[in-house]
Amino acid sequence: MQLSPDDVRDVLRVLDSSGLDEMHLELADLTLTVRREGASGWTVEQRVHREPVLVEDGREGAPEGDRGPGAPPADVPEGLVAVRPPLLGTFYRAPQPGAPPFLDAGDPVEEDTVVGIVETMKMMTPVHAGVRGTAVEFRTGDGEFAAEDAVLLLVRPAGDGATGG
C-alpha cells in the first residue's frame, strides 16, 4: 500500500491541530515520515517496502536483471588505448538504423573522431576517440548496453612525435 494524497492530507490535518512537528509511521509494507518545515510547510518521506507480486506467465528465462553481473571489464592489451563511454547508455555505431557505421576496425582516428553515439535517457551523446591512432577492435556491439567503465573500442595510438595532434 501507499498512502494516497488524500490520506496524507488527513494526516497533516491531524498533525496541524495537534501542534506536533513530526510523525513517523512504520508498517510492514510502508514507512512514512511527516515533518513540519518552516512556518506553514510540510514534507512527506514515504517508502513502500511491499515486494512486487510477479505473475507466473510461463515464459522461459530469468529477467535480465537477475542474470548476475555482466562480463567483467575487458583487459586492455598492452600498447592499446580503450575508448570508454562519456556516460552509461546504449551504444550505437551508426548515426541511424541502416546507415553505415561511423568507423570500422582498421580506420585511422583523430582525437575528435566520432566513433559512435551513446543513448542515455533518450538523449544522444557522441563518443570521441580521444586519441590519435588506428581503430583496432570494437568491444561493444551496435545496440549493446555500455556501463560507465565499458570498453567500446580499442585504439592503437599513433607513434611518438604525434602528440601535437
Partner 1 sequence: MASGRRIRRLLVANRGEIAARVVRTCTRLGVESVLAASDADLRSLPARLADRVVRLGPAAPSASYLDPAAVVRAAVAVGADAVHPGYGFLSENPALARACADAGVVFVGPDPGVLAAVGDKLSARAHAVAAGLPVVPGGEATDLAGARAVAAEVGYPLLVKAVGGGGGRGMKLVRDPADLAHVLDLAVSEAAAAFGDPRVYLERFVASGRHVEVQVLGDGTDAVALGDRDCSVQRRYQKLLEEAPAPLLPARLRRDMAEAALALARHLGYRGLGTVELLVDRERGTFSFLEMNARIQVEHPVTELVTGLDLVAEQLAVAEGLPLRLRQEDVVLTGHAVECRINAEDWAHDFRPSPGQVRRVVLPAGDGIRVDTAVQGGSVVPPFYDSLLAKLVVHGTDRADALARARAALRLLRIEGPATTVPLHEALLADPEFRAGGVDTTFFERFLGAAGPRPVGVR
* Residues at the interface with partner 1 (CB under 8 A): 2, 4-5, 8-9, 12, 34, 37, 40-55, 57-59, 63-65, 87-90, 96-99, 120-123, 143, 145
CB of 10 to partner 1, least distance (A): 11
CB of 95 to partner 1, least distance (A): 9
CA separation for the pair 129, 109 (Å, rounded):
7
The phi, psi pair for 108, rounded to 5°, reads -75, 145
Q: Residue 121 CA to chain centroid, in angstroms?
A: 8
Name the residue nearer to partner 1 (CB basis): 14 or 87: 87
The phi, psi pair for 109, rounded to 5°, reads -130, 145
CB of 152 to partner 1, least distance (A): 15
CB of 134 to partner 1, least distance (A): 30
Going by the DSSP 8-state scheme, the letter that residue 74 receives in this structure is P
Name the residue nearer to partner 1 (CB basis): 12 or 136: 12
Name the residue nearer to partner 1 (CB basis): 30 or 158: 30
Name the residue nearer to partner 1 (CB basis): 130 or 157: 130
Cell numbers at 161, concatenated: 612525435
Q: Which residue has the cell 557505421?
A: 101
- Nearest-10 Cα torsion for 137, 142, 143, 146: 20
Task: Report strand pairing: 41-48 vs 108-109.
Answer: unpaired
CA separation for the pair 18, 29 (Å, rounded):
26
Name the residue nearer to partner 1 (CB basis): 110 or 142: 142
CB of 56 to partner 1, least distance (A): 9
